[in-house]
């Protein structure tokens, strides 16, 4: 892609310098390119659909800061709102009208919630949502699914135990086994396992937390029959269903993933929903919400404690509000979904023409593809995702990166298209993919 030499800095020299003062040279592990090898690109700036690295090289960006940048980088209306907010003050530690406006906007778009609480990261929102679920039900246990990520709260860093429906093992050092003893890890899309878990522990289960369309094992949808059964089991046993829409929220559609399941299952609703990424437009902002009776369990009204110095930050809320306004414009999601579909079809077509087995899926502005074995369908759970061809993905990733296309640097991550991606960007991406696949 085009180059604009502006700097004597190199990604290699920055990485070396970064590694001296920051563990692994990065402030979030996946940025280190460990899964794909090579040197991470140090980004100097971004505009629209592009990121420009320290060496002045331009990339078509399909990460979008891991989801938030649905309008692309530096959208004028968002920049203006943020600039105005900054001049009014960075943080007050006192309530503002803008927090109400953002809460009202989110609630208008997600009718399954009566109230939301704003926080600063998806991790914080998920952690708080689980505390709320436990506090509201008075029960200790939670169910999560292997391959779903809900941030790095201790009790969520768990992988499945050896036997079916046993409690899990910590996936991180520093998490004592006792801390995860109440976290049950099940296989995604496996109805039999969750039935068994409820049959055994139903009266102890506070909630089931799920990424309805999982974006942390690439792109895997919860099947409609699975979701229907999960809802039924929660209802039968008095457990709450927590939708982690940090990634899917306002990304797969204006109604988020829950809107999609409600179309397939009339009346369907989660009990607690968690949002992040898009609602902050690239600033640190996340939220969790539910019906009033559940939310009123939170401090200062109720016994479930939750707080934050920067919660509802005035600059972040301005950024989020401006972003939510833009995505409600007529045709926004239709256009975004069509562009994403064109990209995915282009990639699948390029693979097919070169005899490379590839499958993929997309919804709204989120997509995923897998290098499978010939004849295999879309992976339905974590083990089948991890059985796809990692070597091939890594070669593809680097081939595209060298040609100015920046995909997420790991096969277990979803991709994101923004409103700033043009038809030309998509064409260029598919053309580059064709060369690499050949
Ligand atoms: N939930 C989901 C579904 C996510 O994708 C992420 C982050 N990728 C989180 C929670 C955690 O959010 P954060 O990184 O803002 O803490």
> How remote is the C-alpha of 273 from its chain's centroid?
13
User: Does residue 215 line the site of ligand 1, with CB under 6 A?
Assistant: yes
Q: Once rounded to an integer, what is the mean pLDDT over residues 92-116? A: 98
Q: How confident is the model at residue 161 (pLDDT cuts 50, 70, 90)?
A: low
Nearest atom in ligand 1 to the alpha carbon of residue 123 is 16
User: Does residue 410 line the site of ligand 1, with CB under 6 A?
Assistant: no
The set of residues, in sequence order, having a beta carbon less than 8 Å from that of 402 and lying 6+ positions away, is none
Q: Which regions of 127-239 does DSSP assign to beta strands (E)?
A: 141-145, 158-159, 169-170, 183-186, 205-210, 213-214, 220-221
Q: How confident is the model at residue 19 (pLDDT cuts 50, 70, 90)?
A: very high
What is the structure's pLDDT at 114?
98
What is the structure's pLDDT at 7?
62
Q: Once rounded to an integer, what is the mean pLDDT over residues 273-298? A: 98
Q: How far apart are CA 60 and CA 403, in angstroms?
A: 9
> Which tokens in the block code for residue 108?
């208008």
Distance 423 CA to ligand 1 centre (A): 29
If you average pLDDT over every residue of the chain, what do you get?
96
What is the structure's pLDDT at 159?
86
Nearest atom in ligand 1 to the alpha carbon of residue 214 is 3
> How remote is the C-alpha of 58 from its chain's centroid?
24
Distance 198 CA to ligand 1 centre (A): 26
User: Does residue 247 line the site of ligand 1, with CB under 6 A?
Assistant: yes
Using alpha carbons, list the distances in angstroms from residue 306 to 95, 106, 209, 374: 16, 20, 19, 50
Q: How far apart are CA 326 and CA 321, in angstroms?
A: 9
What is the structure's pLDDT at 207?
98
Q: Once rounded to an integer, what is the mean pLDDT over residues 118-143? A: 98
Q: Which domains does the chain have, with CATH numbers?
A: 112-310 (3.40.640.10)
According to DSSP, residue 408 is labeled -
User: Does residue 216 line the site of ligand 1, with CB under 6 A?
Assistant: yes
Ligand 1, atom 14, residue with closest C-alpha: 122
Q: Once rounded to an integer, what is the mean pLDDT over residues 155-178? A: 80
List, for residues 252-265, the tens digit of each pLDDT value: 999 999 999 999 99
User: Does residue 372 line the site of ligand 1, with CB under 6 A?
Assistant: no
User: pTM for the complete prediction?
Assistant: 0.97
Residues serving a catalytic function are 149, 244, 277
Distance 151 CA to ligand 1 centre (A): 5
Q: How confident is the model at residue 270 (pLDDT cuts 50, 70, 90)?
A: very high
Percent of the chain at pLDDT > 70 equals: 97
User: Does residue 288 line the site of ligand 1, with CB under 6 A?
Assistant: no
If one compares 86 and 164, the residue with the highest pLDDT of the two is 86
What is the structure's pLDDT at 8?
84
What is the structure's pLDDT at 198?
98
Q: How confident is the model at residue 187 (pLDDT cuts 50, 70, 90)?
A: very high
Phi and psi (nearest 5°) for 128? -70, -40
> How remote is the C-alpha of 250 from its chain's centroid?
11
Q: Once rounded to an integer, what is the mean pLDDT over residues 288-299? A: 98
Token pair 């998920």 in the structure block, residue: 126
| Residue of 122, 130, 272 to test ligand 1 pocket, by largest number of atoms within 8 Å of CB | 122
Distance 377 CA to ligand 1 centre (A): 27
- Angle at alpha carbon of residue 380, lines to 347 and 248, rounded to 5°: 70
Ligand 1, atom 13, residue with closest C-alpha: 122
Q: Once rounded to an integer, what is the mean pLDDT over residues 33-45? A: 95
Q: Once rounded to an integer, what is the mean pLDDT over residues 1-16? A: 77
Distance 337 CA to ligand 1 centre (A): 22
Scored b (16 or more CB within 10 A) or e, 78-106 reads: beebbeebeeeeeeeeeebebbeebbebb
Distance 258 CA to ligand 1 centre (A): 17
User: Does residue 257 line the site of ligand 1, with CB under 6 A?
Assistant: no
If one compares 255 and 169, the residue with the highest pLDDT of the two is 255
- pLDDT of 167 over the 90 cut: no
Q: How far apart are CA 192 and CA 421, in angstroms?
A: 42
- pLDDT of 44 over the 90 cut: yes
Ligand 1, atom 10, residue with closest C-alpha: 150
Nearest atom in ligand 1 to the alpha carbon of residue 274 is 1
Phi and psi (nearest 5°) for 278? -55, -35
> How many Å from the N-terminal Cα to the C-terminal Cα in the chain?
19
User: Does residue 245 line the site of ligand 1, with CB under 6 A?
Assistant: no
List, for residues 373-397, the tens digit of each pLDDT value: 999 999 999 999 999 999 999 999 9
Distance 276 CA to ligand 1 centre (A): 7
């Amino acid at each position: 892609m085009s180059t604009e030499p502006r700097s004597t800095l190199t990604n290699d020299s920055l990485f070396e310098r970064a590694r001296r003062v920051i563990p692994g040279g990065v402030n979030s592990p996946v940025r280190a390119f460990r899964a794909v090898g090579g040197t991470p690109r140090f980004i100097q700036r971004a505009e629209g659909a592009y990121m420009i690295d320290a060496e002045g090289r331009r990339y078509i960006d399909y990460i979008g800061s891991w989801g938030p940048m649905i309008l692309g980088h530096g959208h004028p209306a968002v920049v203006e709102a943020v600039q105005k907010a900054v001049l009014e003050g960075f943080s007050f530690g006192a309530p503002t009208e803008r927090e109400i406006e953002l809460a009202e906007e989110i609630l208008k778009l997600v009718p399954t919630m009566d109230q939301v609480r704003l926080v600063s990261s998806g991790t914080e929102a998920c952690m708080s949502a689980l505390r709320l679920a436990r506090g509201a039900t008075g029960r200790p246990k939670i169910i999560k699914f292997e391959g779903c990520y809900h941030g790095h709260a201790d009790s969520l860093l768990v992988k499945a135990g050896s036997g079916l429906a046993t409690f899990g093992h910590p996936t991180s050092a520093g998490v004592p086994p006792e801390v995860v003893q109440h976290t049950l890890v099940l296989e995604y899309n496996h109805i039999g396992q969750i039935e068994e878990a409820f049959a055994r522990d139903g009266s102890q289960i506070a909630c089931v937390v799920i990424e309805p369309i999982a974006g942390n094992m690439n792109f895997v949808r919860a099947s409609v029959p699975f979701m229907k059964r999960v809802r039924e089991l929660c209802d039968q046993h008095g457990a709450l269903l927590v939708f982690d829409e940090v990634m899917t929220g306002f990304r797969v559609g204006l109604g988020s993933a829950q809107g999609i399941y409600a179309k397939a299952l009339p009346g369907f609703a989660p009990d607690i929903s968690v949002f992040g990424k898009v609602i902050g437009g690239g600033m640190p902002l996340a939220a969790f919400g539910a019906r009033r009776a559940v939310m009123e369990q939170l401090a200062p009204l109720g016994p479930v404690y939750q707080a934050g110095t920067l919660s509802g930050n005035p600059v972040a809320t301005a950024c989020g509000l401006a972003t939510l306004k833009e995505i409600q414009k007529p045709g926004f999601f239709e256009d975004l979904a069509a562009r994403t579909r064109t990209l995915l079809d282009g990639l699948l077509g390029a693979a097919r023409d070169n005899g490379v087995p590839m499958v993929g899926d997309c919804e709204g502005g989120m997509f995923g593809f897998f290098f499978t074995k010939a004849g295999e369908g879309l992976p339905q759970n974590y083990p089948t995702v991890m059985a796809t061809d990692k070597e091939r993905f890594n070669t593809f990733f680097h081939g595209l990166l060298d040609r100015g296309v920046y995909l997420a640097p790991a096969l277990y991550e979803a991709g994101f298209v923004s409103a700033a991606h043009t038809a030309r960007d998509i064409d260029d991406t598919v053309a580059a993919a064709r060369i690499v696949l050949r």
